[in-house]
């Protein structure tokens, strides 16, 4: 019996290895479709765009980046600034809406804040440019109420641009934030209330600190979607300075210059990456904290 087992064991081991291999193969086959999609639609274009950003006039060079810094450095700063301002206002608004809806139910607001979700960027861009134009809907109304002859229009200015961004981004951010606020156990809020905290104190001292990861997600998603938007800056933004995306389009459409367009693209990846890395680090710390 013992001997038989000894004799069988090498075979057993081999079987085990075969079985493991087979499992690995199956596992690999299972992720293969997803992997293929990821590689062909994400990794390959990414690598290609980084590569193309270093090719100018058929040669490997830094010329595209030099051009970017010569012509577009101001636009890069402008894009980051606009995105940060728009994101900050968006977060402020969505925290306000979520804070309110966490305590009180108001069907009207519940529906209204989600409405812009279903309107495409292009339509928003066009609506805003008519609404905010010097003789647009808003100013026509204001001039009648205030009885002032001419008012400056907000479209084609950075304020109009931020306005339009906030309008489209707030529902997404508010959905995330409100979800987090609502999933928080009532016990915390009741405890704070028992100690006499006002509603806004609860929002700032309990809800926001405890939902920080979700708020961070909302922040990063809003920022990325803002800085990568093309339609709204084209339709509402000022003629100069421009967002990075507008310059990319210009480079491709007017000069057929994919090198500089890709260099601008790579710079926007880098900007987004700064936030992504911060977020990942933050999340890791957060998880570590919970474990400890």
Partner 1 sequence: MRKLCGVVVLIIAAVLLAQAGIPIKVTLTMMVAGDQNMVDFFQYEIAPEFEKLYPNVKVKVVGTGPGDAGSQQIIQQLQLEKDSGKDKWAIDLVVIHEAGAIWAIERGLIRQYTDFLTTRRLVTMKTAEVALGVNVNGYVMPMFHSQTAIAYNPRFVKNPPKSYAELVEWVKKNPKKFGYNGIKGGMSGVSFVFGWVYWKSKNPDVLMNGPFDEKYMEDWPQIYAELKEFNKYVTLTSGNAGTLDALNRGEIWMGPVWVDMFYTWIREGRMDPNIRLILPEPGMPGQPMYFAIPTKAANADYALKMIELVTSPAVHAKYIVDRFNWYPAIGIEYVSPYLSKEVFDRLYRDIKEEELLKFGKRMPIADYRTRMLEAYEKWVEK
Between 83 and 260, CB nearer to partner 1 = 260
Closer residue to partner 1 in complex, CB, 102/129: 129
Supply the minimum distance, in Å, between the C-beta of residue 228 and partner 1. Answer: 18
Q: Smallest Cα–Cα separation from 55: which of 249, 254, 261?
A: 261
CB of 121 to partner 1, least distance (A): 15
Half-sphere exposure of 288 (CA within 13 A, CB side): 6
Closer to partner 1 by Cβ: residue 108 or 254: 254
Taking the complex as a whole, the smallest distance from the CB of residue 246 to partner 1 amounts, in Å, to 6
Comparing CB distances to partner 1, the nearer of 194 and 240 is 240
Query: Closest distance between partner 1 and the C-beta of residue 257, in Å?
Result: 9
Contact 156, 139 (CB under 8 A): no
Closest approach of partner 1 to the CB of residue 236, in Å: 7
User: Min. distance of Cβ 251 from partner 1 in angstroms?
Assistant: 10
Give min distance, CB of 96 to partner 1, in A: 31
**One-letter-per-residue 3-state SS of the chain:** CHHHHHHHHHHHHHHHHHHHHHHHHHHHHHHHHHHHHHHHHHHHHHHHHHHHHCEECCEECCHHHHHHHHHCHHHHHHHHHHHHHHHHHHHHHHHHHHHHHHHCCCHHHHHHCCHHHHCCHHHHHHHHHHHCCCCCHHHHHHHHHHCCCCCCCCCCCHHHHHHHHHHHHHHHHHHHHHHHHHHCCHHHHHHHHHCCCCHHHHHHHHHHHHCHHHHHHHHHHHHHHHHCCCHHHHHHCCCCCCCHHHHHHHHHHHHCCHHHHHHHHHHHHHHHHHHHHHHHHHHHHHHHHHHC
Q: Are 68 and 264 in contact (CB under 8 A)?
A: yes
CB-nearer residue toward partner 1: 65 or 181: 65
Give contact residues for partner 1 (rule: CB under 8 A).
70-71, 74, 129-130, 133-136, 153, 155-156, 234-242, 246-247, 249-250, 252-256
Of 167 and 181, CB closest to partner 1: 167
Taking the least distance from each CB to partner 1, the nearer of 214 and 260 is: 260
Q: Contact, 271 vs 252, CB < 8 A? A: no
Shortest Cβ 65–partner 1 spacing (Å): 16
| Residue 24 vs 71, nearer CB to partner 1 | 71
């Amino acid at each position: 019996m013992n001997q038989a087992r000894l004799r069988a064991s090498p075979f057993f081991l081999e079987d085990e290895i075969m079985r493991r291999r087979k499992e690995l193969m199956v596992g690999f086959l299972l992720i293969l479709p997803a992997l293929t999609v990821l590689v062909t639609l994400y990794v390959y274009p990414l690598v290609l765009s980084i590569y193309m950003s270093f090719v100018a006039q058929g040669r490997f060079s830094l010329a595209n980046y030099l051009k970017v810094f010569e012509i577009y450095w101001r636009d890069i700063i402008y894009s980051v600034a606009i995105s940060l301002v728009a994101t900050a206002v968006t977060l402020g608004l969505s925290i306000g809406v979520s804070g309110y809806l966490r305590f009180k139910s108001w069907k009207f607001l519940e529906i209204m804040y989600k409405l812009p979700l279903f309107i495409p960027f292009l339509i928003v861009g066009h609506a805003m440019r008519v609404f905010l134009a010097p003789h647009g809907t808003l100013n026509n109304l204001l001039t009648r109420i205030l009885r002032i002859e001419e008012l400056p229009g907000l479209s084609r200015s950075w304020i109009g641009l931020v306005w339009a961004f906030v309008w489209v981004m707030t529902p997404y951010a508010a959905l995330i934030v409100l979800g987090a606020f609502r999933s928080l156990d009532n016990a915390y809020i009741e405890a704070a209330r028992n100690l006499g905290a006002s509603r806004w104190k609860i929002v700032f001292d309990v809800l926001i600190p405890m939902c920080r990861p979700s708020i961070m997600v909302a922040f990063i998603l809003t920022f990325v979607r803002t800085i990568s938007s093309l339609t709204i800056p084209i339709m509402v933004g000022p003629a100069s300075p421009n967002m990075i995306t507008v310059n990319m389009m210009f480079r491709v459409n007017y000069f057929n210059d994919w090198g500089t367009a890709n260099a601008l693209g790579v710079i926007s990846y880098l900007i987004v990456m700064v936030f992504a890395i911060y977020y990942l680090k933050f999340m890791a710390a957060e998880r570590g904290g919970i474990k400890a």
